[in-house]
Amino acid sequence: MRLHRSTALSIASVAAVAALLAGCSSGDAPTPTTTTTAAAAVDACEATSGSASESVTVTGDFGVTPTVDFAAGITADVTERTEIVTGTGPEMTTGQTAIIGYSIYDGTTAELVDTVGMDGGDPAAIPVDTSTYLTGLIKTFGCEPTGTRVVSVVPAAEAFGEQGNETLGVSPGDSLVMVIDVKPIRATGADQPVVEGQPAVSLAEDGTPSIAIPATAPPADLQVTVLKKGTGSALTADATAYVQYVGEKWSDGTMFDESWTTGVRNFPLANVVPGFSQGLTGQTIGSQVLIVIPPGLGYGEAGSSDNALAGETLVFVVDILTATASAAQ
């Protein structure tokens, strides 16, 4: 289908902050537009617990800005990480896109330099790719299951090196301490009342939706039903949405596309079929949305193109995980 200092950051701000964590300290590396990346030279899963990471005290619940205590000047030879909370969800392996919240500290000064996605703020979407993002960042959460909170100590060589990062206030040669929450890759919003006459949606234990389409004629107009209401920012028409989704044909219930077996996908809303864009624009991060798209807002009426979905009414269930503004891509 054609279809990245405040915890209350806007969609655009989340994109800008994620760019600051790219491998280039100037922050000019673009956020990838796909969620499948080439194998990195560095093993994203290789970091282990060590004396440095174990010396950092982290308190506070998952998803809440942590209280962190460590000695100024802390560093390590290579990135060390220690789990504070161990999750039970899927592991974020190379090629996947993780949805994370983080608090990052300058290890040399012990000062907080950046925090995103805590206390209900919009999380960042970061591909598990050490060739694009800071090696120490990816080694902090690479191969960790969702639901995990982990703390790391990152040496300068795997952070911003001898360049530092002036924007974040990290001096050349400074180490970093990171606390990262690996967020669920499913909608976490509040359940909404069932709307009669719409396809029925049930969820597997891992959040994968199943759709029961009624044996009636499809609606002529776009139908949008919020199944779970998130508390994050509202998507704008120019946003890139990071989602999990299932798509089926109303005519026979055949699934024609999904992300749950492959991982988080992202779509610039300006580049998808009109019904998909209209159905997601204005919806909030953390929401799950049922979208029924008539042919005229999908792939056109039957015979209008060679697309196999021409003439079909499309039914989507979309979990909105986060988003970035196109201007920051």
Give yes or no: residues 154 and 242 share one domain. no
Residue-level pLDDT at 8: 40
What is the model's pLDDT at position 198?
95
Q: Which of 145, 164, 182 is the last residue of a domain?
A: 182
User: Could you give the C-alpha distances from 297 to 198, 239, 291, 301, in angstroms and in order?
Assistant: 18, 19, 11, 9
Domain presence at residue 5 = no
Answer for the pair 21, 34: CB distance below 8 angstroms, yes or no.
no
Q: Which residues of the chain have pLDDT under 70?
A: 1-20, 23-41, 326-329
Q: Domain tally for the chain?
A: 2
CATH number of domain containing 79: 3.10.50.40
For position 327, what pLDDT does the model report?
40
| Whole-prediction pTM | 0.89
pLDDT, position 4 = 27
Give the pLDDT score at 15. 53
pLDDT of residue 304: 83
**Can you give the pLDDT at residue 21?**
73
Residue 83 maps to a domain: yes
Q: What is the DSSP letter of 117?
A: S
Distances (CA, A) of 158 to 25, 30, 71, 75, 136: 11, 19, 20, 11, 5
The confidence score (pLDDT) of residue 328 equals 36
Helices in 22-80 by DSSP H: which ranges? Answer: 51-54
Cα atoms in the 13 Å half-sphere on the side-chain side of 202: 3
Are residue 152 and residue 223 in the same domain, yes or no?
Answer: no
Q: Looking at the domain assignment, is residue 240 inside a domain?
A: yes
Q: Which of 150, 182, 214 is at the close of a domain?
A: 182
Range of the domain at 300: 190-328
Q: 242 and 290 in one domain? A: yes
